[in-house]
Structure 1
Amino acid sequence: MNKAKIALVGCDFVGMSLGMAVKQALKEVEVVGHDKDRDAMRRAELAKAIDHSEWNLPRACENAAAVFICAPHEALEVTLRAIAPDLGPNTIVATVGAPHVAALRVAEGLLGGDVPFFSTSLVYHPDRVNDEGELPSADSVRDAIWAIVPSRGTRTQMVDTFVALANQMGAKPIFVDPAERDGMAVAVDAMPAILSSMLMLAVSSDAAWRDRMWMAGAAFGRAVNGAGRAPSFSTALEAQPDVVVHWLNQVMLQCMALRDAIAAHNTESVTRMLTQAEERRREWLANWRRGRIEGHIPIERDSGGLLKMFLGEGMASRLTGNKRR
């Protein structure tokens, strides 16, 4: 059996975690990685997230059964223009992490109507991924929520194939409304990084920072770690100013309430606020550890040829619920 080719465009944490997960889940695949940063490709090869790298983007995606684009949104248009001539109705193309509405708009303008395109985002399980600066493992994708938005006109068979592939990789796929998901991303993806940046600016913006910096150790480092990711959210912030302003206001209201309680020496209120935050954090983690009640989403099943190419006919039949005759 010939190996199916999976192309990864972007060898960052997300790209490497997908490469490792797909190689663990599907034995008969060849994972080819591309990144404009040669060091990133080298790291991915050394980590065995990809089987080999390919500097030429069209060649990396040529004859691929699936192309996962993990590059920044700013690079999406250039990427799709470069690979579009070789894409057909049996090649899954998916962005992973780009804003959903914008990704769908770019794909609609550049790809043929028969190309199955998916705008997606991975939400890693908080127990499995604590720092995206570290190298991923083959289990990083396990139990992650994989938010999926198929483009208009994508055939049911290809949607089924994508969902079955995500399930086989250990993720939990869910269909989302693109605008709603982008709004959620501001609160739970962008805001932590933005607040990390604001803390860094606040603490480092006075003359005493030159001496204070030597007292800022590991705990401070963990708190401001997100500042490194903050610039990558600039496009998302500009695209949804009303949502961003809303969440900044909500954070400021909480900060002002804490400030006022401290200024009034209201120890009870201070303790209550901080305790409530910790209780909600624990509840959030407990819910993740229990998992989504509905489990894997129900889908129409179709044992299409692409799924058989990924998994072989026997495994494809088991995943789709179709019995072999």
Structure 2
Amino acid sequence: MSHVAILGTGLIGASIGLGLRAAEGTDDIEIVGFDTSRERERAAEGRKAIDRRGRSLRDAVQGASLVVISTPVLATREVMEEIGSALAVGAIITDTCSTKAQVMSWAEELLPSSVNFVGSHPMAGKTEFGPAAAEATLFQDARWVIVPSRTASSAAVETVAGLATALGAKPMYMDAAEHDAYAAAISHLPMFAASALFRLVRDSEAWPEMSLLAASGFKDTTRLAGTDELMAHDIAATNREQVIHWLQRLRGALYDIEDMIADPDRSEDLLRYLAQLNIDHIAYHDGQVGRVEIDQKGSGIPMPGMTDMLLGGALSERLRQMTEDSDEDTQTRQRRRFFGRR
């Protein structure tokens, strides 16, 4: 019987266990879990995310062919130090941490050369945490980033990719620095931006009244303010440079919007900016992701054929009208937009 160890039985670790147990061809796998919280361990075992609890970190990994480290980022170093000498020769070690460069460095420093470390990060999650929130389908159709170490065998890399695929995810390969830069923009920045927005409004003297008015827009935008604080702290500590870089870019983007709103003469600029965002956002939600070549010349507006295909031409026509008729009165254009007047 194969032995898989899951170290950390929170949302991600328990979801991996549930997903493995639900996957085809895994009946002969024993899943051993360990968590510093006995309550989380018992909950994971109760939900059958793990078959049994390890007495210690070292006991959990004893004889394991695959070890999944699913702990907060800063705890990962201590875990690697503790399990290093207990790992079986040829064992495959992976992690699910939200930052990769620091974790890859720790693995190279602390894990024995007789094992294979393959960094990974499933791009899925929830604001709820703990095994009670775990789902076997949490990773369905999600990207699962794989960052092989310099010494990992091809078989080890294929095994981690196979784990991702078995859980319904889509493997995506990149190096650690690339991952951390991208994750800072699309995962870490939204989390800290949501936190800042919620704190700003929550600290207002008018919060008792505003909280009654707040509906889906505010709740959706600030959802990530409910992220596990330990995870958020560790992300900032291990990806500091990239998080700061994107926070500074966000600040600049907000200043740009502020300038357009503050200057009545830039009303056209604001409308054009918002219309282009509308196109880009709809395309993103319609699945137009990845590297798509578009015409970057002139105004930066996508080629008419592309936007027509995505939106039936309505929004791209609006953009063309704004570009060609820049002298037309804004109120007249807005009336035509909503009432169809020429």
Offset at residue 243 of structure 1 (A): 3.0
Matched letter for residue 211 of structure 2: M
Residue 196 (structure 1) aligned with residue 228 (structure 2): no
Distance 1:238 1:32, change over 3 A: closer
Matched letter for residue 246 of structure 1: H
Which residue does 1:42 correspond to in 2?
42
Which of 182-191 and 136-145 deviates more? 136-145
User: In structure 2, what is the Cα distance between the partners aligned to 1:263 and 1:99?
Assistant: 38
User: In structure 1, what is the Cα distance between the partners aligned to 2:34 and 2:90?
Assistant: 21
Which of 242-251 and 188-197 deviates more? 242-251
Which residue does 1:137 correspond to in 2?
135
Distance 1:210 1:179, change over 3 A: same
User: In structure 1, what is the Cα distance between the partners aligned to 2:126 and 2:228?
Assistant: 17
3-state SS of paired residue (1:154): coil
CA offsets per residue over residues 264-301 of structure 1, 9 Å max, x none? 4566554544444343333223337x8999xxxxxxxx
Correspondences of 1:166-177 after superposition (within 5 Å) = 166-177=164-175
- The answer (yes or no) to whether the contact 1:98–1:119 under 8 Å persists in 2 is no
Correspondences of 1:215-226 after superposition (within 5 Å) = 215-217=213-215, 219-226=217-224
Distance 1:248 1:210, change over 3 A: same
Offset at residue 131 of structure 1 (A): 4.7
Matched letter for residue 118 of structure 1: V
User: In structure 2, what is the Cα distance between the partners aligned to 1:191 and 1:47?
Assistant: 33
User: In structure 2, what is the Cα distance between the partners aligned to 1:212 and 1:76?
Assistant: 41
Which residue does 2:185 correspond to in 1?
187
3-state SS of paired residue (1:141): coil
Which residue does 2:97 correspond to in 1?
97
Which residue does 1:260 correspond to in 2?
259
Which residue does 1:234 correspond to in 2?
233
3-state SS of paired residue (2:112): coil
Offset at residue 113 of structure 1 (A): 1.0
3-state SS of paired residue (1:31): strand
Give ranges in structure 1 of 5+ residues lacking alignment: 294-325
* RMSD (Å), alpha carbons: 2.8
Normalised to the residue count of structure 1, the TM-score between the two structures is 0.77
Misfit runs of 4+, over 6 Å: 290-293
Which of 227-236 and 104-113 deviates more? 227-236
Count of residues in Structure 1 that have an aligned counterpart in Structure 2: 286
Distance 1:139 1:230, change over 3 A: closer
Relative contact order, higher structure (CA 8 A, sep 6+): 1
Offset at residue 166 of structure 1 (A): 2.7
Matched letter for residue 260 of structure 2: A
Give ranges in structure 2 of 5+ residues lacking alignment: 293-342
Offset at residue 40 of structure 1 (A): 2.1
Which of 273-282 and 186-195 deviates more? 273-282
3-state SS of paired residue (1:193): helix
